[in-house]
Structure 1
Amino acid sequence: MPDTDAIAVPTLTSEFPVVGDDPHIDAPLRATVRRLSTLLGRTLADQHGQEMLDLVEQVRKLTKDAKSSDSEASAQDVQNRLAELPIEQATALTRAFAQYFLLANAAEQVYRVRSLQERPASESWVPRTVAAVHESVGAEGLQEAVDSLDVRLIFTAHPTEASRRAVLTKLRKISDILENDTEDGTPERRRQDHLLSELIESLWQTDELRRQRPTPQDESRNVLYYLTQLYRQTMPGFLDDLREELRAHGADLRERQVPLRFGSWIGGDRDGNPYVTAEVTREVLQMQAETAVELAIDVVSELIGDLSISSEMTGQDEELRASIDADLAFPSEVDEVQQRMFEQEPYRLKLGTMRAKLKATGERIRTGAPHVHGKDYYDSEELQDDFSVLRGALARHGGRRAADGAIAVAQQVLAGSGLNLAVLDVREHSEKHHDVLARLFDRVGELDRPYMELSREERTKVLAAELASRRPLVGTALAEDETILDDATRTTYKVFGEIRDAHRQYGQSSIETYIVSMTHGADDILAVALLAREAGLVTLPGGDQNRSDISFAPLLEEVAELRHAGEILDEMLSDPSYREIVRLRGDLQEVMLGYSDGNKDSGVITSQWEIHQAQRLLRDAAARHGVTLRLFHGRGGSVGRGGGPTYDAILAQPYGVLEGEIKFTEQGEVISDKYTLPTLARENLDLSLAAVLEGSALHTTPRSTPEQLDRFGEVMQQVSDASYARYRTLAD
């Protein structure tokens, strides 16, 4: 019989193993899960009667018996019982077990938080790593490694993440209640149980599934929820603790440096998603920008309350006064009354004008009005300039601790969020760009046969020559004759114009990289660069007038491309025009590695081994061309999508690959697990940054001898070949 509570209501799965096999270690967690399942059992009895609760217990017992006996007959008993259920009962039964596991996961997250909070600070990821790097390479080497840090976590939507925000919010509230541990039988426990019962009842009556397919805008709102919480609750403490740890070892963060930031694919990932149009990209960018401005207003408003420094005590600062006067030249909410009120408190007055400019920025974004310098902010750099004015004045007038304290943290938080909250990547399939160029080249009629009949090598030569030329391939032709492009190719080409417009509205940090799926050769990247040039994102007239407002990243996914990764990158960087684009982008070349399609193509072991070898090839090719390599790992949550422990995955990269630069996806299926609770979010940020810092500073040479590496390669190749052969037998 299952455990019972005081009123003899059975729990749902009181005997299920929850997190492990040690009853002593897991006892508190098991008790919490039993508590939640008891409350869920009461909800079931209230909503559907005792009969439904008895059915749940019956199926649980049959399943447990089948598992323990490992007999086909017992398993058949379970199947027979389920097959005879009416659809209404089957649905309720399924929901009961699904909600049990949601509640069990919420409880487990709380206990993960407790274990982290009980861990000594010296054993945390960042302190331990900073100390190790300092011991190995000294303060100067630590500073050099920190200066190179640019860790980017890219949030993506994914069909396996089906949870609605309404469900996630309730689970978050349940976790918040459970964080306050209480003793059974106390008034506090009874109050908690009342609140938990209310939430569980509401959870049961909430439809877990959206009845309409979520739009990219819906997905963006979901990610904005997490990003807002991260910037409000997690990033300030993360950056402050990192700065203090670095200073204790003779290093520091640069004033505007953000060693870890966030990006997004939602609203920019067009590959295979016809719902992501240029218009959708525009809407998502506006949503992100409005949220970022609201966040900045809140941060600045909090500082206004803190910086009550009087010029009567410290003296006037001419640079600060001049900056305030320039701001007050524009009408704003900082009227004469406020100016008189804060006449002797210039820091509050300056922050007040900054808040006014942020509000004007929000209005500009909503209305699409043009930027007016001094009235609103064009991009994050202008906001950062105002922070620098504040900190400089404080430092000159005896307020260095204030300058390096809360205001410094606020500056760095807003340097990360910027005025767009997350950098948006754009992604499209390689063939889409060739479809556009085929219509353009065939219209010109200079090729000896249609563009799509050219070999890959021939296309590369044609595109290289066109990119090096100064003539416009499109010019005014599209405006004069819209039939040059059909609906599909026009949609593809229109995105480049949308990127250009986004840069004008939100600054170039809003969209920095265009990713090309299924890149098979250099022609796939040159094609995108040429279309970007036609849209005005790239100009290469020569000399100081050259510019590139965006970077281009090949996405290598299948085994064939991974094995030729070095050749593809070498061919790209050997083209003078494209090499100039890379130079204009800071001599940084991003390459994305796809895990999911490689796994589908060759199986888990072969896919991982080929990606590992591809990283070596890319590292060496980038080094030959004097380029910094940033690898973008398209990892998912499951093993089949490249999932696994983030720290181990980062450190498992070949030596010399990490130079402070890395990107990896946080797919929808794992975002809620990693980022719902602030402590878990902080843990994920800490371990990600620590792994990149360690790999960049300490894994610059092989850990093994050449003979060991050769032997390792031979063994892995044998394992990979055997795995691939077996996988293809199953797949084919």
Structure 2
Amino acid sequence: MSVEPKLTRFKQNVLSKYQIYNSIFMTLPFDSITKTGVLLPLFHETCRKGFANGDDPTTIVDTFFKKYQARRNKESQINLLFRFIQYIERQVVLFDAIEDAAFPIVNNMEGIGTLRNLKETSNSENKLEELRAYLEEFKVRIVLTAHPTQFYPGSVLGIITDLTEAIKSNDLSQINNLFGQLGKTPFFKHKKPTPYDEAISLIWYLENVFYNSFGQIYNYIQTNIYDDSKKHNEIINIGFWPGGDRDGNPFVKPDTTLKVARKLKQSILKKYYADLKSLRRKLTFRGVEDRIVRLETIIYNYSVDLDTPDKISSKELLTELLSIRKVVVEQHQSLYETEINQLINRIHMFRYHFATLDIRQDSRIHHSVFTSVVDHLIEKGSNSIPSNYHDLTEAEQIDILSKVSNEDIDFNAFEDEMVYNTLKTIEAIKEIQATNGERGANRYIISNNQTALNVMQLFAMLKMVAFSDDLTVDVVPLFETITDLENAPAVMEQLYTNPQYMAHLKERGMKQTIMLGFSDGTKDGGYLMANWGIYKAKELLTEMSRKYDVTAIFFDGRGGPPARGGGKTHQFYSSLGPTIEDKEVQLTIQGQTISSNFGTLDSSQYNLEQLISSGIKNRLTEKNKLSEEDRVVMNDLAETSYQVYKDFKGHEMFIPYLERMSTLKYYAKTNIGSRPSKRSKSDKLIFSDLRAIPFVGSWSQLKQNVPGFFGVGTALKKYEERGEFHKVEQLYNNSKFFKTLLENSMMSLTKSFFDLTKYMSKDEEFGAFWNIIYTEYQTTKELLLKLTGYTELMENEPSGKASIEVRESIVLPLLTIQQYALKKIQELDKEGVAADDEERKIFEKIVTRSLFGNINASRNSA
């Protein structure tokens, strides 16, 4: 049987279907303006031709109205633009659903990187025993975060799911109904979601996707790779940030954390109940039926009321099911043994916590909270904190903090809400461990971690407040900026040489989780330097940890687009050499990455298998060790691009350009996340206050994608000018890591479209700055094509490129409308029109509304 090339499968199963269903979709009247579906293709064509002719967005919109809608008044024109926005948002949903439906056809579910392929390869190479041994210690943890890079409300996610199913079965009447529903369902959130709302929307994925895909993967490994029904290392597990991530989010309170933990427990109990209910219909034999009915009743009551006295622990539940399985095997010819096993496996993986709730807070907040606590204790005459604590050196403070244990702290003595909430949160961790099991909440991440003292302040607070005898929480420093990454090994050595901290690590299995953040790294150091900085930090941290017999577990804070550590993530993990610890792969998954890579059973299973096999590949195949010569080139490229990016970031027009020419300030108005869009309350925009998501997102809305390529071209050009381009070619051919980096950068370039903002090049104030960006884009594109030998970007990924092209084409009118509105606002600014002017408000609303479709269409950046 011959398999069509991936691009052909994409064209037949995605592109053709989109064209057919879109033509049906365009004929549906959604509101009073019935002609929207007829006019949108005309507007789309006007945009396409206009940009090809070098027209600016204002000219394009004006041309369209003159040519096709000359009789419309101003108000009616604006109304039509809003209707276009609504239609385009829904076209993006339609394309999402069609791509989801075609996922198992376009992607080979048994091809390279899948478990079946891994098993067959290991078999043919006589490495099955090695594979089994590896799977006993390897783990993948995906951590769902509430970072707002997608905004679909739950109702729309439900429609996408139903539409995907209807498209799979070509059910036209159901598709028609769903189109109608889509037309009438609001996409826009009038108020910001609460952190609890965010948790609820992500628990939807736990219940509807991960419960099943995790189970299937575990069952496959158990029956096909181990060929037994024994309990093994759970291999995949899941972390959860909504309700626990306080960094920059004042709305996450201790009771939010407790509420989310209860919801997670209730959700998993409901899933177990559903499985027990279906088992009850099958296990109708003597000596088994009564026991299953009893379990079903207990779990049902427990899921309805977590405080019921008639409860059962997860261990007791497992023991009873194992005993039932034994009876079935011995007395009933193993009937339905597989189904019993599947439930046992799920309980082994999810227990009563479902997902591990991580707590996260900024080191600067901890420092201020801890200072208040120390002052309080000194005032009370503490045994463990001396009165001259604040005058001591950092090393002396660390020594004191490592030895403290429980202190009698009166939470109500603190007027500062942040101090009270931080202490209450530590208490909440203890409470969650008591109800959901230790894995319910056993990690506390310190973002912006700079020193060993940052770690020891939290270490001491945990012990003082709730964990004096037995600290069952891992303290996880997060290193983000280029400087912090460079200092990380020294910080960890300081901790490893502290006897009390080392004793804690011994209790935790001699494992230290270290988090490294891509988003802020890119924002701080540019694309190449951030990725190389993290790679080098991992090498040095591995070496440092091994020196003290500690296993470093790296947890990567990755975003969706390549600029934030996204892109082809599994390729990164399979490209790491022997110098980087690889016992576990841990990464954050957020926003559109959740829905695009893990939103359906097929995509979830496929991408989880890719992550599992990427780590294993790194272990079982030839290692990608960088030669000394290649390291010098890589380092030099990173340093050059870092300098170029720093100069660019320091340009006097950098902040004004983002503030006045981009959509940056409109992110806060979209109500897609509970967090504020910048860290301080100041009206003045300061670079360090900028969050990575609005920062990267604003460049993406401008279709300039600066954080994904800036500095790469200049760095490569330096080698070309020196006549040493062959050195870069050698690095590219030798290093899978470098190759993956550049392929992801190509994705950023592919999604750039400078014709959209070309009009800015003539702007008196910003023209020169725009030209700096455009020149770097052209240089990078030209030299990446030269290096790879491609004739066009992403030539090696034709189906990925085709998907991007369709999505970019869908949102082209949306981007045009957004730029048109931004230009109008800039003109009103120049005229000194007040902020509360009605016309201005309308254009601002257009900008805000147009953000959504663009954000969601970027789904394949994940």
Within a 5 Å distance, the mapping from 1:161-310 to structure 2 comes to: 161-181=150-170, 192-247=171-226, 254-255=230-231, 257-309=233-285
Match of 2:449, SS state, is: coil
Give the distance between the partners of 1:22 and 1:231, measured in 2 at CA. 29
Question: CA distance change for structure 1 residues 138 and 107 in 2, over 3 Å: closer, same or farther?
Answer: closer
**1:582 corresponds to which of 505, 513, 531:** 505
Question: CA distance change for structure 1 residues 439 and 586 in 2, over 3 Å: closer, same or farther?
Answer: same
1:429 aligns with 2:362: yes
Shift of 1:691: 1.6
**1:723 corresponds to which of 641, 663, 670:** 641
Partner of 1:332: none
Partner of 1:527: 457
User: Counterpart amino acid of 1:478?
Assistant: D
**2:322 corresponds to which of 378, 382, 388:** 388
**1:108 corresponds to which of 79, 99, 104:** 99
Partner of 1:413: 346
Partner of 1:459: 394
**1:160 corresponds to which of 141, 149, 152:** 149
Give the distance between the partners of 2:278 and 2:396, measured in 1 at CA. 57
Within a 5 Å distance, the mapping from 1:308-457 to structure 2 comes to: 308-309=284-285, 345-362=286-303, 365=306, 367=307, 375-378=310-313, 380-395=314-329, 397=331, 403=337, 405-445=338-378, 451=390
Partner of 2:37: 53
Give the distance between the partners of 2:113 and 2:562, measured in 1 at CA. 26
Instruction: Give yes or no for contact 2:518–2:557 (8 Å, CA) kept in 1.
Output: yes
Give the distance between the partners of 1:585 and 1:570, measured in 2 at CA. 17
Give the distance between the partners of 1:516 and 1:363, measured in 2 at CA. 35
RMSD across aligned positions (CA):
2.7
Partner of 1:142: 131
Tell me how many residue pairs correspond in the alignment.
631
Instruction: Give yes or no for contact 1:635–1:641 (8 Å, CA) kept in 2.
Output: yes
Instruction: Give yes or no for contact 2:166–2:172 (8 Å, CA) kept in 1.
Output: no
Give the distance between the partners of 1:460 and 1:398, measured in 2 at CA. 66
**1:607 corresponds to which of 530, 533, 537:** 530
User: Counterpart amino acid of 1:390?
Assistant: I
**2:410 corresponds to which of 440, 455, 478:** 478
Alpha-carbon deviations, 1:121-140, whole Å to 9, x = none? 46561122234445567343
Shift of 1:413: 1.4
Higher mean Cα deviation, 54-63 or 149-158?
54-63
Partner of 2:117: 128
Instruction: Give yes or no for contact 1:296–1:358 (8 Å, CA) kept in 2.
Output: yes
Instruction: Give yes or no for contact 2:143–2:589 (8 Å, CA) kept in 1.
Output: yes
Question: CA distance change for structure 1 residues 529 and 698 in 2, over 3 Å: closer, same or farther?
Answer: farther
Give the distance between the partners of 2:364 and 2:229, measured in 1 at CA. 42
Higher mean Cα deviation, 203-212 or 26-35?
26-35
**2:466 corresponds to which of 526, 529, 536:** 536
Match of 1:162, SS state, is: coil
Give the distance between the partners of 1:232 and 1:140, measured in 2 at CA. 28
Give the distance between the partners of 1:595 and 1:628, measured in 2 at CA. 22
Give the distance between the partners of 1:431 and 1:213, measured in 2 at CA. 26
Question: CA distance change for structure 1 residues 716 and 164 in 2, over 3 Å: closer, same or farther?
Answer: same
Alpha-carbon deviations, 1:487-533, whole Å to 9, x = none? 22111111001111111222211102111101111111111111110
Give the distance between the partners of 2:173 and 2:304, measured in 1 at CA. 44
Give the distance between the partners of 2:481 and 2:125, measured in 1 at CA. 38
Give the distance between the partners of 1:54 and 1:431, measured in 2 at CA. 55
Question: CA distance change for structure 1 residues 709 and 439 in 2, over 3 Å: closer, same or farther?
Answer: same
Partner of 2:573: 650
Instruction: Give yes or no for contact 2:543–2:579 (8 Å, CA) kept in 1.
Output: no
1:664 aligns with 2:640: no
Higher mean Cα deviation, 599-608 or 102-111?
102-111
Instruction: Give yes or no for contact 2:389–2:397 (8 Å, CA) kept in 1.
Output: no
Shift of 1:168: 1.4
Within a 5 Å distance, the mapping from 1:626-641 to structure 2 comes to: 626-641=549-564
Instruction: Give yes or no for contact 1:538–1:549 (8 Å, CA) kept in 2.
Output: no
Ranges in structure 1 where 5+ consecutive residues have no aligned partner: 1-19, 182-191, 310-344, 540-546
Give the distance between the partners of 2:555 and 2:33, measured in 1 at CA. 52
Alpha-carbon deviations, 1:24-80, whole Å to 9, x = none? 961453321122211221124x6344543343122111112134x3x3237553143
Partner of 1:560: 483
Shift of 1:650: 1.4
Instruction: Give yes or no for contact 2:542–2:581 (8 Å, CA) kept in 1.
Output: no
Higher mean Cα deviation, 587-596 or 106-115?
106-115
Alpha-carbon deviations, 1:109-166, whole Å to 9, x = none? 22222234xx474656112223444556734322221110221111111222110111
Higher mean Cα deviation, 521-530 or 91-100?
91-100
Match of 1:410, SS state, is: helix
1:89 aligns with 2:80: yes
Give the distance between the partners of 1:526 and 1:417, measured in 2 at CA. 31
User: Counterpart amino acid of 1:730?
Assistant: F
**1:502 corresponds to which of 419, 432, 440:** 432
User: Counterpart amino acid of 2:143?
Assistant: I
Question: CA distance change for structure 1 residues 444 and 122 in 2, over 3 Å: closer, same or farther?
Answer: closer
Within a 5 Å distance, the mapping from 1:610-621 to structure 2 comes to: 610-621=533-544
Instruction: Give yes or no for contact 1:147–1:254 (8 Å, CA) kept in 2.
Output: no
Give the distance between the partners of 1:501 and 1:582, measured in 2 at CA. 22
Instruction: Give yes or no for contact 2:429–2:442 (8 Å, CA) kept in 1.
Output: no
Partner of 1:703: 624
Instruction: Give yes or no for contact 1:596–1:641 (8 Å, CA) kept in 2.
Output: yes
Shift of 1:557: 0.5
User: Counterpart amino acid of 1:355?
Assistant: E
Give the distance between the partners of 1:253 and 1:526, measured in 2 at CA. 43
Match of 1:148, SS state, is: coil
Alpha-carbon deviations, 1:447-478, whole Å to 9, x = none? 57573x76xxx2343133233245x4x31x41
Give the distance between the partners of 1:650 and 1:568, measured in 2 at CA. 25
Instruction: Give yes or no for contact 2:214–2:236 (8 Å, CA) kept in 1.
Output: no
Instruction: Give yes or no for contact 1:282–1:498 (8 Å, CA) kept in 2.
Output: yes
Match of 2:250, SS state, is: coil
Give the distance between the partners of 1:24 and 1:308, measured in 2 at CA. 46
Match of 1:42, SS state, is: coil
Match of 2:444, SS state, is: strand
